[in-house]
A and B are shown apart, each in its own frame.
Chain A
Amino acid sequence: MSAHAETMHHGPAKGFSRWILTTNHKDIGTLYLVFSLIMLFIGGTMAFVIRAELFQPGLQLVMPEFFNQMTTMHGLIMIFGAVMPAFVGLANWQVPLMIGAPDMALPRLNNFSFWILPFAFAMLLSTLFMPGGAPDFGWTFYAPLSTTYAPPSVTFFVFAVHMMGISSILGAINVIVTIFNMRAPGMKMMDLPLFVWSWLITAFLLIAVMPVLAAVVTMVLMDVHFGTSFFSAAGGGDPVLFQHVFWFFAHPEVYIMVLPAFGVISEIIPTFARKPLFGYRAMVLATVAIAFLSFIVWAHHMFTVGMPLAGELFFMYTTMLIAVPTGVKVFNWISTMFKGSMTFETPMLFAIAFIVLFTIGGLSGLMLAIAPADFQYHDTYFVVAHFHYVLVPGSVFGIIAAVYYWLPKWSGKMYDEKLGQWHFWLSFIGVNLTFFPMHFVGLAGMPRRIPDYALQFADFNMLTSLGAFLFGTTQLLFVYILIKTVRSGKKAEQLPWEGARGLEWSVPTPAPYHTFTTPPDLERK
């Protein structure tokens, strides 16, 4: 490869300004990933407060008002601060490497879209110290909770969301333009690695729905400050309209948070099964189908608002239809593993846990899709169990798997496999101990977002809290593993995984500051 010869005369700038001024996709990828790790711990601390309060029935530690702020901020930070930036970080590192491009197409925009985030979240977190407290209306900020009854900090919340939205939109534009215009010569769309395909589709979802989020928070702002009545019946508006506009954004949003993880898993499973991915074309089409369906199912979040029967049926059946392309993906991953010569290094363990646990989350999603049953499940811990199963062992495990998988190429060092296995098993036990009992208390009728509960839920809640403490502390081990790898890890080989294919493995280890300054020759491979 000629790529590394040129790196000699132009390396990264020295000192801290490197990170502020950088336009390098690898630096920006690292910034995104470190930022999201910090946010994971801030959001995790809030989850810790929630679970400590719910350890026993009764009010022990915090007042209900503060509890509401914790549930709201936990959701906002984990979604917009931890999961989404982590995926943008992975895209920054991997998309150019996987398509043989020298960098992202719009490097300065890339720097800008990252550096909006620390300011957005500083603003959001500062509301915790304001009179009246942080936003307390749930991350879904339903009107009138976020309008008539909102704390004064709602204005800061609105502008923080605007900034996060701008950051995501610019990041998505960058990904799309890079994939369309900067592929190595001869790489056709149907040659793209699945991680790249998933991100392309995710980026289009972001472009389509983040502006709708911006619109709905703007309407909230106008209702609060400018006397409009978008969501107030007194002035001719309708609070139910809020839910329609919000979920038009928020349902595609849940796929934004999981499609890139699908992509990661589709890279890892073939590597450790030492077989090519089963049904590449079907995987691409399934991802497109999921993205399309995500636009026409939003009202399944609001079966109980008093929709007509025809509406309930429409949203029920379209929601169930999503299980078909998702099932295609799950079966293709299983078929890829079938008769493969599998080994179980840490990334593979996280990937397999992803398939198993995400499927459990998908199954409880199908249960929730049944409109008549949803009237029982609505706003209970069953919903909490469902979306945490798809987000934690789904999205978060996907991100962790990706980090273990590509870390040797990024850092040039190998992580400690033994500690990685410990990290996996403790996380696996922790996550199930936390979220599985929530199904039971939810089905028995325990409501979400309430700081106290009836005595019969006490045992399961204690188990959940213990699991949450285990899962949370285990992530400190993850940080220790990362630091140990970067500081004193064994030198990684050029191809750290025997079965790995793809352009990203053709660059030297660690990946030099500039790669593919001359496009790779795809014919030679």
Chain B
Amino acid sequence: MRHWLKPSSPSGLILIVVLMFGFGFALVPLYDVFCEVTGLNGKTKGAYQGDINALAANSDRTITVQFVANRNDNLPWGFYPEQEEIKLTVGERKQIHFSVNNSYNRAVVAQAIPSVSPPQAADYLNKIECFCFQRQPLAAGEAKQFPLVFFVDPALPEEISKLTLSYTLFDISERDASGVD
């Protein structure tokens, strides 16, 4: 080993310090990769990429999907699912709506963050269309219907018969105005 790289020399030690500082930041993507590989954290994926027409509801296994709508920081908005609970068969496409109204007297930009419980079901809940894919601008006092089209993959593990899809609505007007993600 070159002498300046040895862990007994100051330069070698400073290299360890720099690498560990980088490692601290590398933990951020590593955390996401870890959650994705293990399916922890209940994060759903982006829009379903497969062939939607090939899907056939050829199973009569029914499951229950519950919808929960939360407002972060108890923002003074209305945010409700059209139905709190639906039953559907696996592979069946469903569309439901979330209604939202902006009770602020100013325009806001909202972003919904999904979470699925139990977390291991997150991989089997496929969204074809979701309001959570985009940030949602709302004029002052505006009310809107947010659409969600999804299906549950027939490969969903047998032991899961009920899953909960929750959305938390965040006010990201400040972030959005400054143009930073």
The interface of chain A, by Cβ under 8 A from chain B, is 106, 109, 169, 172-173, 176-177, 180-181, 207-216, 219, 226-230, 233-236, 238, 240-241, 244-245, 248-249, 308
Contacts and interface: CB of A to CB of B under 8 A. Distances in A.
Top 3 A-B residue pairs of the complex, sorted by shortest distance between their CB atoms: A215-B24, A234-B170, A180-B8
A234 B113 contact: yes
A97 B38 CA distance: 52
B86 interface: no
A214 B21 CA distance: 7
A458 to B, nearest CB: 34
A413 B146 CA distance: 80
A211 B18 contact: yes
Contacts of B16: 207-208
B7 to A, nearest CB: 7
B40 interface: yes
A58 B168 CA distance: 36
B65 to A, nearest CB: 21
Given A234-B113, A234-B170, A211 B24 contact: yes
Contacts of A245: 24, 27-28
7 contacts: A173-B10, A177-B8, A207-B13, A208-B16, A211-B20, A234-B111, A236-B113
A384 B64 CA distance: 44
A215 B17 CA distance: 11
A173 B113 CA distance: 44
Contacts, number: 91
B31 A235 contact: no
A234 B22 CA distance: 25
B41 interface: yes
B72 interface: yes
B37 to A, nearest CB: 13
B175 interface: yes
B21 A173 contact: no
Nearest to B72: A234
Given A233-B113, A236-B113, 17 more contacts: A177-B8, A177-B9, A210-B17, A212-B20, A213-B24, A214-B21, A215-B21, A227-B175, A229-B181, A230-B28, A233-B170, A234-B171, A235-B175, A241-B31, A244-B31, A248-B24, A308-B38
B125 to A, nearest CB: 18
Interface in B1-43: 7-10, 13-14, 16-18, 20-25, 27-28, 31, 38, 40-41
B154 to A, nearest CB: 24
A248 B27 contact: yes
A211 B170 CA distance: 32
Interface string B138-177: 0000000000000000000000000000001011100100
B178 interface: yes
B180 interface: yes
Contact of B41 (A176, A181, A234, A238): A238
Nearest to A173: B13
B75 to A, nearest CB: 11
